[in-house]
């Protein structure tokens, strides 16, 4: 199996804060790098890196789903009992979701290359690819939690709402100012990274030892307010 990697020229590496890498990394080299850079035992894994919907759809799916799954499966043997994997998804996953059968079809592609071939056979525009990638990630989280729980490894996902980060303009460009402004108004404010990071830290900790196979929305109640049944209008004071 040969793991595909991002084409460096397709990325604005200064905005992503990563170094430019000219070479593609095969499966053997990928394994060697893991052996050389990671300890033999890991107490947890937070999959935080991702691309917004301003990047080409194929790259979005490579990074947000295929690469994340490939990395996690490559290091799972290093995760000790009692450890956890936390995947950062998004509340965008609940916006116009794809049929679950389509998600299952992609997840049936067991390798990186097979998953990439599936993505190329099912083209999406970039904003739709972002939403779909996060929907797939949440479903894969459930699969992995069921597969690894007897090893004592928990797998959960976190779905933030609108967060004030350097890629917020990308989300405005791909989702539209109106959608971002409406979500921010409903939540009450933009989230800060410090609103999300402690939740991830908690889920990685032993204090969350009985939390497994769930997607936790960290959105200030945005999705909950949209899903809530209408509340009855309270009677005015003194009304019969």
Q: Which residues are catalytic?
A: 130
- DSSP sequence for 178-237: HHHHHHHHHHSS-B-HHHHHHHHHHHHSGGGTT--S-EEEESTTHHHHHHSPPPPPPPPT
Distance CA 155, CA 146 (A): 8
Letter string b/e over residues 6-18, b meaning 16 or more CB atoms within 10 A of that residue's CB: beeeebeeeeeee
Report the run of H or E that residue 15 belongs to, with start and end: helix 13-16
Q: With contact defined as beta carbons under 8 Å apart, do 108 and 66 qualify?
A: no
Q: How many CA atoms lie within 13 A of 194 on its CB side?
A: 0
Contact by Cβ (8 Å): 72, 47: yes
CA 111/CA 5 separation, integer angstroms: 13
């Amino acid at each position: 199996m040969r793991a595909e990697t991002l084409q460096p020229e397709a990325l604005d590496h200064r905005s992503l804060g990563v170094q430019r890498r000219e070479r593609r990394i095969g499966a053997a080299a990928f394994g060697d790098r893991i052996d050389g850079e990671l300890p033999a035992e890991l107490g947890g894994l937070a999959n935080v890196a991702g691309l917004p919907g301003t990047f080409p759809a194929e790259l979005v799916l490579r990074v947000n789903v295929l690469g994340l799954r490939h990395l996690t499966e490559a290091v799972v043997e290093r995760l000790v009992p009692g450890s956890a994997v936390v995947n950062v998804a998004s509340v965008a996953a609940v916006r116009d979701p794809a049929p679950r059968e389509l998600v299952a079809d992609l997840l049936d592609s067991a390798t990186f290359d097979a998953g990439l071939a599936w993505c190329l056979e099912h083209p999406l525009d970039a904003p739709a690819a972002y939403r779909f990638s996060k929907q797939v990630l949440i479903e894969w989280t459930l699969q992995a939690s069921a597969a690894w729980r007897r090893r004592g490894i928990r797998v959960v996902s976190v779905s933030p709402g609108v967060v004030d980060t350097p890629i917020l303009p990308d989300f405005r460009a791909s989702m539209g100012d109106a959608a971002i402004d409406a979500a921010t108004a409903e939540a009450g404010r933009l989230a800060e990274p410090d609103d999300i990071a402690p939740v991830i830290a908690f889920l990685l900790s032993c204090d969350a030892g009985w939390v497994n196979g769930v997607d936790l929305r960290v959105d200030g109640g945005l999705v909950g307010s949209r899903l809530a049944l209408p509340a009855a209008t309270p009677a005015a004071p003194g009304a019969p």
